[in-house]
Amino acid sequence: MFLKKLILINYRSFSQETFEFNAKINCFVGRNGIGKTNILDAIYHLAFGKSYFNPVTVQNIKHGEDFFMIDGTFEKDGRTEHIVCSVKKGQKKVIKRNNKAYERLSEHVGTLPAVMIAPADSDLIAEGSETRRKFMDGIIAQSDTAYLQNLISYNKILTQRNALLKYFALNNAFNRETLAVYNTQLHTYATALFNERKAFIEAFVPIFREQYAAIAGADEDVDLGYESQLFEGELIHLLDRQLSRDKALQYTTAGTHKDDLLFGIKGHPVKKFGSQGQQKSFLVAL
């Protein structure tokens, strides 16, 4: 799959520009501030339905205008794919594939697989587990729409369960039957996410190590691990075990929303023991 043509209208710094691309490597060259990064962001927007640099959609509309449009023509498996993403102030975002609008934006994820490498990627090492989960989820969701739907459903039930725990605390009340309904649903979605993440890591690690060796040489032993409370047991039992703590803290302390990726080099955490060069090579390999 490659992007043949890109048309930008009122997107960030562009009023109206058209770009045509080669099927191999394309480079953007020019002085600072002319919009090179905005071109990359527009491509990312077409692939994921959102900006990489500014997730607030209306803020990607060029100043003084009331809409933007990103129009991309791709060649995929010998066929031409036409993707258009447009937003008008006060209205919801619309993404069309071959002139047909998606009912849900999540249906589009994975149609145009893409990878963005940016300075902010250092957050994968420096920041907390949420950043690394998002990285993992973003990769899996591009190839598995069922995973994305399970993730959306899990997060929805998690929000509702947390709201229920707050309600219990505020009203000095407790209803075990109601909580059990949320526990069962959370367990179902968490189990699916956990199994998919395990399978992903098993397949991903050999590829990651191969890429790291190509960048930095085969002398450095790197590793990528998956940490999850579900290795200890099924979530339905973990939730029962954590009930007193959840009630006290008023949020859910067990589940796949606590999962993490562990980055290692020579048996030690990359964050603490990796040099700047090793960390950069690690991120590019990822």
- Mean pLDDT within 45-61: 94
Is residue 56 very low, low, confident or very high in pLDDT (cuts 50, 70, 90)?
A: very high
Q: What is the pLDDT of residue 1?
A: 80
> What pLDDT digit, counting tens, does each position of 209-246 carry?
999 999 998 788 999 999 999 999 999 999 999 999 99
Q: What is the pTM of this model?
A: 0.83
Q: In terms of DSSP H, where are the helices of 172-275?
A: 176-216, 235-241, 243-249, 270-273
Instruction: Spell 127-144 as b/e; 16+ CB within 10 A means b.
Output: eeeebbbeebbeebbbeb
> What pLDDT digit, counting tens, does each position of 148-203 carry?
999 999 999 999 999 999 999 999 999 999 999 999 999 999 999 999 999 999 99
Residue 65 CB neighbour total at 10 angstroms: 13
Q: What is the pLDDT of residue 183?
A: 98
- pLDDT exceeds 90 at position 106: no
Nearest to 286 by CA among 139, 179, 148, 143: 139
> Which domains can be identified in the chain, with CATH numbers?
2-107 (3.40.50.300), 119-285 (1.20.1050.90)
What is the overall mean pLDDT for the chain?
95
